[in-house]
Structure 1
Amino acid sequence: MSRPGLDTNPLELTPDWFNQLFETIGVDAEVQALTAKAIGTGQIGENVRFVFDYARKGEGAPATLVGKFPSGSDASLMTAKLLGHYEREVMVYRTFPKVAGRITPAALYADYDPDTNRFALIMEDMAPAEQGDQLAGCSVADAERAMDAAAILHAAYWMDEALDTYSWLQNTKLAPPPAIGPEAVVTLWAGFKDRYGAHLTPDVVEVGDAYADALPRFPEERPGPFALIHNDYRLDNMLFGKPGAPKSLAVVDWQTAGKGAPANDVAYFIGAGLTREDRPKHEQALLRYYHARLEAEGVRGYSFDQLYEDYCLNCFYGMSVAFGAAMLVKQTERGDQMFLTMLRRHAAQARDNDALRLLP
């Protein structure tokens, strides 16, 4: 069987390849024809939807599947290699069964070649689920669905020292140092201010400057609990199922997953996922909802007060993602709008929660 994404153009995959895959994983079906169409405009990976025409379709044979493959951009390929994105995403699906398939699309096939840095994921098609919209924000009900999934993710490997045995997972004891260190992040903030200064109000700049000034003094290991975290836990990486769907939410794009503070994902989502008008109204209720869901998943000994303190400190992470990504990826009109919106929302989040008091 060939290895799509590694030695084949995914848009040219044949019925025979899928027939071999189905035989391997126990799907009773014979594909006689298929269509392959690119979906989305991913900057790091390319997504393809496969629609099947069957000569024989047994029970459980999928009408469609979605594949994720390397980017066609040389710059994105280089970035993915530098940051370990492709290997990490494949390994998350292979390694963490208490998460993969439960709050992600189910993966039928996951392959990565370290020599070529090429990969492939063949997953269930979540259509007609709808992708979240980072710019528009979300309802409280959808935010609660995101908090449900976050609690499942974090509780699954809460304080699990086995995380440190994975060198491909970010921030573990075996992982290499971050490719972009604190000094580089400070430089990115300076560049961001130069490029977007006309769009930044003084209150946003004040928060960014305070964070950039304190960043080199942050301890390498921060206090508090650790778990498996997504690290890019936001609406654009979520597929919301229709009412009655078997999976109400599927979280995708696990290329930045790591060991870290669970409150990182929570602060990142709430800070940018709700509008500046809605977040202050619902922030505390969503935090208490998440805390209750954590306890329902079996987490003990983590008080709400500690969660809130951790949440406040992690408000700044979303700012660093916004200005860092803006300076590292291809500049687009929507990208500019999204990164500026995220930056403003996280700066307001930090100010509203007096998070600057926690900076070292």
Structure 2
Amino acid sequence: MARPTTSELLPERLTEHRAVRAWSRLESESIEPEGIEVLKTGKKSAVYRLVGVGPKGASVIAKRCPLATGLLERMIYEEFLSALPLPALRYYGMVEEPDTGFCWAFLEDARGQEYSTGNREHRELAGRWLGTIHKAAASAVFERHLPGRQPDHYLELLRASRATLVCHLRNPALGEADLLTLRALASYCDLLEAHWSELEGACAGVSPTLVHGDFSMKNVRVATTGAGLALLVFDWEYAGWGVPASDLVQFMGRTLSPDLGSYRTTMNGLMAPLALPDIERLAECGKFFRLLDGISWSALLLVFDSYTFLAKPMSYLRSYEARFAEALRTAPWLR
């Protein structure tokens, strides 16, 4: 999993750390870790590596998250992934934090090499893994338990995000360059909405399935097993039920860019009506779905306050502006 990136003042006795206390509730004993590595901290989540507390002295990943997220991930790990013929990370369990609406989830630490889109073997592995997941999930009873990821979900994100961007054109803390970014993104949303029926057409007839929602390099490791390479996938907090377009995205940001030929072969009939060019168009749609996810998240961080609180979301939005413009330039309907 991730390398330590965040500093946090740890207690002198590591058994007093909140992640270790939660782990002790799960294991019914107090085990002092050899060390605690802070991987992520934030208002809504925190992730730690507890060194040496797992079986045979292995490290354990401790993740604090909203209870709804923890329950969703637990369902996927315990009820779905564990039943598939794929190597998967061991899910140790979850404990609720009293009276907070949060919980702690504990997972095996993913060890292995980092994924590379420049490695064809990695991309073929990702294509087969994704095909296996999507094919198996299509017959699972997931729909009522997962948030929707059909095109209408992303259209709602587009409209809500655009409204927020337009609202902040009146934000006195933003400079002219920032306002140009907001105007550009709002205009790109207008253009995309005008062609929304074409995205819906590309997604029509595709069987809904389990969508990871953030199928990117930071959420996988490539492990070497006796049977060869295995893809270890984690962080299912953005998972949903719908068309798998966002998981299929090719060469945008740090997406995995799974080999689409390997994906189609593994699906073996579930998407038989779709030729490879159809799947490629689906992946193109996924670019816009991922962009809308990112823009929506960044727009929610905009505030009418000091620029200190605006610098980070605006840096994200500038990045999305460039990607959005490129995606529109290469979209089939604009060629």
Say whether 1:49 aligns with 2:52. Answer: no
Q: How has the CA–CA distance of structure 1 residues 215 and 352 changed in structure 2, closer, same or farther, with 3 Å as cutoff?
A: closer
Question: 1:190: Cα distance to partner?
Answer: 3.5
Which segment is superposed worse, 224-233 or 235-244?
235-244
Q: Distance in 1 between matches of 2:23 and 2:94?
A: 18
Q: Shift of residue 260 of structure 1?
A: 0.8
Normalised TM-score (structure 2): 0.68
Q: Give the AA of the match of 2:21.
A: L
User: Match for 2:247: what amino acid?
Assistant: D
Checking the alignment, whether the CA contact within 8 Å between 1:235 and 1:273 is kept in structure 2 is yes
Distance 1:190 1:241, change over 3 A: farther
| 1:10 CA drift (Å) | 3.0
Unaligned runs of 5+ in 1: 1-7, 22-30, 55-59, 71-79
TM-score (norm 1): 0.64
Question: In the alignment, which residue of structure 1 is the partner of 2:92?
Answer: 108
Between the aligned partners of 1:46 and 1:157, the Cα distance in structure 2 is: 29
SS in 2 for 1:272: coil
% same residue: 16
Q: Which residue of 2 aligns with 1:185?
A: 161
Q: What is the alpha-carbon distance in structure 1 between the residues aligned to residue 98 and residue 147 of structure 2?
A: 17
1:170 aligns with 2:147: yes
| SS across alignment from 2:259 | helix
Per the alignment, residue 65 of structure 1 pairs with 60
Q: 1:121 aligns with which of 101, 105, 114?
A: 105
Contact 1:318 1:346 in 2 (8 A): no
Distance 1:236 1:212, change over 3 A: farther
Residue correspondence of structure 1 range 268-347 to structure 2 within 5 A: 270-273=251-254, 286-295=259-268, 299=270, 301-303=272-274, 304-329=276-301, 337=315, 340-347=318-325
Q: Tell me how far apart the structure 2 counterparts of residues 294 and 163 of structure 1 sit (CA, whole Å).
A: 18
Match of 2:39 in 1: 40
Q: Which runs of 5+ in 2 are unaligned?
A: 1-15, 303-308
Alignment of 1:211 with 2:228, yes or no, is no
Offset at residue 191 of structure 1 (A): 5.6
The residue matched to 1:108 in structure 2 has which SS? strand
Matched to 1:162, the amino acid is: V
Shift in alpha-carbon separation, 1:129–1:85, aligned structure 2, 3 A: same
1:94 aligns with 2:74: no
Helix, strand or coil at the partner of 2:282: helix
Pick closer, same or farther for the CA change 1:35–1:329 going to 2, 3 Å.
Answer: farther
Residue type of the partner of 1:37? I
Which string of whole-angstrom CA distances, capped at 9 and with x for unpartnered residues, describes residues 9-66 of structure 1? 5344289656537xxxxxxxxx864245242225442112122379xxxxx6342211
Alpha carbon RMSD of aligned pairs, Å?
4.5
| Aligned partners of 2:45 and 2:64 also within 8 Å | yes
The counterpart of 1:149, out of the listed 119, 124, 129, is: 129
CA distance in 2, matches of 1:101, 1:69: 29
Does the aligned pair in 2 maintain the 1:110–1:120 contact within 8 Å? yes
Partner AA of 2:28 in structure 1: Q
Shift of the 16–255 alpha-carbon distance from structure 1 to 2, 3 Å rule, reads closer
Q: Distance in 1 between matches of 2:277 and 2:22?
A: 55
Check the 8 A contact 1:15/1:33 in 2, yes or no: no
